[in-house]
Amino acid sequence: MPSVAPPPFPPSQQAPLPPPIRITRTKTPTGGILLGKYQLGRLLGHGSFAKVHEATSIDDSSNVVAIKIIDKTKTVDAAMEPRIISEVSAMRLLQHHPNILKIHEVMATRTKIYLVMEFASGGELFAKLLRRGKLTETTARKYFTQLVSALHFCHQNGVAHRDVKPQNILLDQNGILKVSDFGLSALPEHLNNGFLHTACGTPVYAAPEVLRGKGYDGSKADAWSCGVILFVLLAGKLPFDDSNLVGMYKKIHRSEFEFPTWISNPAKAIIRQLLDPNPDTRMSLMKVMETPWLKRSLAAYASSNKKQDSLLHGRKLKHEMVCNGVNAFDIISLSSGLDLSGLFEGGNEVCRKEKRYTTTMELEGVMERVKETGERLGYRVEKGKRGVLGLGKGRVVLTVEGVEIAELFVLVEVKVVEGTAELEEGQWLDLEAGIGDIFVS
């Protein structure tokens, strides 16, 4: 094995076969010692069903890790553990790439699941952007090179990330980029006739074909997200930023955006080709790697400080704590982006006041289905302008508005105008039971 690290794009990026996933089961931990192996440190973040701690190995206090603790008793999804194992499988398959966050160990008790992961002490790239705004082209190209390398490696090994965004791109203590959060990733077994079908990801970074909910190629969808990220790195803002959701969807589907004057022509050319709304003609990450603009950073990446290269490609679990506050909530998958189908599920006040759906059915057919369902459930139905219906029942008044975003792609928004307190969750469920089969899930 050579002492000098290889460049980020080795001739063959096929990952070696990973060891089998082992779920270690043991007694629930007490006190600050987790499973007799890790000393739990400060709480770094928490969500509804999980929390993240900094931790150190009992055997070697210099080994700092991040541990995500998932409480299975609080989850509403009985299939959560298989999904976590699927996520872990993807990360284990990809663990040998220097720009992908590593997972070290998975442990479980009757009520908890523990994911022990690499601690990226440099925090999110998103936080860096918030502090500094746009980056210089040299810096942006450095990060973009590492991102493309990591995702190309994913694709060559049959994994599509599907939630590529700055919040899921981390930096270690040496400023080396680490792609994280494979909670929405897809493996080859998720393909249906060669395509993926789940509409997921964060809308402002998601490709048009993903938002449509039709079959799509995960690698091409990731390439679109890379185009958005390169724009953000260089411009300091989103290309399709719009406070109006409908307006944003239209901009994405038409690829309507404007370049700031300071972005160079070679970078503009790459962004334009990545943000091609037609996935068949969109630039692939392999083609991106062959562009002169990106190749310019390869030599610098490969011949950088040898000490840094050693840390970059080292396999030993050893990390130094040098950060002042890091959002580990996003480091290890607590924030897995926006699954569009999740917008249809009730359970909180926001969802009870407003819900959005997408469908590939024609607008007239959608509104007719809503009308028939409303009348059958005892609602008074009043027609407004094209694509708008009013539904009334007792003190509850709802408006349903459908908007054609693109050909055979309709966004439907349901809002509670009056009677939020009187609206029962069952009413949402009844409406969705009547019209839900036309929507993309």
Which residue, chain included where needed, has tokens 């002490």? 121
Q: Which one of 3.10.20.30, 3.40.50.620, 2.60.40.10, 1.10.510.10 gives the CATH number of domain 123-318+327-338?
A: 1.10.510.10
Is 307 exposed, middle or buried, given 0-12, 13-18 or 19+ CB atoms closer than 10 A?
A: exposed
Class at the top of the CATH hierarchy for domain 24-118: alpha beta
Rounded Cα distance between 405 and 386, Å, is 14
Q: What is the DSSP string of 216-284?
A: B-HHHHHHHHHHHHHHHHHHSS-TT--SSHHHHHHHHHHT-----TTS-HHHHHHHHHHT-S-TTTSPP
Catalytic residues, which ones? 163
- Count CA atoms closer than 13 A to 79's CA, side-chain side: 3
What is the gyration radius of the CA atoms in the chain, in angstroms? 23
Q: Residue 121 above 70 pLDDT?
A: yes
| Structure token digits, residue 349 | 């006040």
Tell me the range of 110-114, 303-307, 407-411 where mean pLDDT is highest: 110-114
CB distance 180 to 169 below 8 Å:
yes
pLDDT of 32-46, one tens digit each?
788 778 999 888 777
pLDDT: is 67 or 350 the higher one? Answer: 67
Q: What is the pLDDT of residue 407?
A: 65
Q: Residue 181 above 70 pLDDT?
A: yes
Give per-residue burial for 369-402: e unless 16+ CB within 10 Å, then b.
bbbebbeeeebeeeeeeebebbbbbeebbbebbb
pLDDT of 391-419, one tens digit each?
888 888 888 888 776 666 777 888 888 87
**How large is the average pLDDT for residues 315-333?**
27
CB distance 198 to 106 below 8 Å:
no
CATH no. of 342-438? 3.30.310.80
CB distance 44 to 326 below 8 Å:
yes
Q: Residue 12 above 50 pLDDT?
A: no
pLDDT of 334-373, one tens digit each?
222 222 233 223 334 444 566 777 777 888 888 898 898 8
Q: What is the pLDDT of residue 408?
A: 66
- What share of the chain in percent tops pLDDT 90? 27
**How large is the average pLDDT for residues 2-6?**
41
- Count CA atoms closer than 13 A to 66's CA, side-chain side: 30
Q: What is the pLDDT of residue 31?
A: 44
Kindly indicate the confidence band of residue 268, based on its pLDDT and cuts at 50, 70 and 90. Answer: very high
**Mean pLDDT score of the chain, rounded to an integer?**
76
Rounded Cα distance between 158 and 18, Å, is 14
Q: Residue 318 above 60 pLDDT?
A: no
Q: Which residues contact 147 (CB under 8 A, 6 or more apart)?
A: 99, 164, 169, 177, 179, 226, 229
CB distance 339 to 441 below 8 Å:
no
Task: Give residue limits of the domains in the chain.
Answer: 24-118, 123-318+327-338, 342-438
pLDDT of 193-234, one tens digit each?
778 887 777 889 999 998 887 789 999 999 999 999 999 999
Q: Residue 136 above 80 pLDDT?
A: yes
Rounded Cα distance between 371 and 330, Å, is 42
Q: What is the pLDDT of residue 226?
A: 97
Q: What is the pLDDT of residue 2?
A: 43
Q: Strand, coil or helix: what is 183? A: coil
**How large is the average pLDDT for residues 7-30?**
48
Q: What is the pLDDT of residue 48?
A: 63
Q: Residue 148 above 70 pLDDT?
A: yes
CB distance 211 to 358 below 8 Å:
yes
Q: What is the pLDDT of residue 96?
A: 84
Q: What is the pLDDT of residue 441?
A: 37
Q: What is the pLDDT of residue 411?
A: 77
Task: Catalogue the E-assigned strands of 24-95.
Answer: 24-25, 33-34, 38-46, 50-57, 64-71
Q: Residue 169 above 50 pLDDT?
A: yes
Q: What is the pLDDT of residue 280?
A: 95
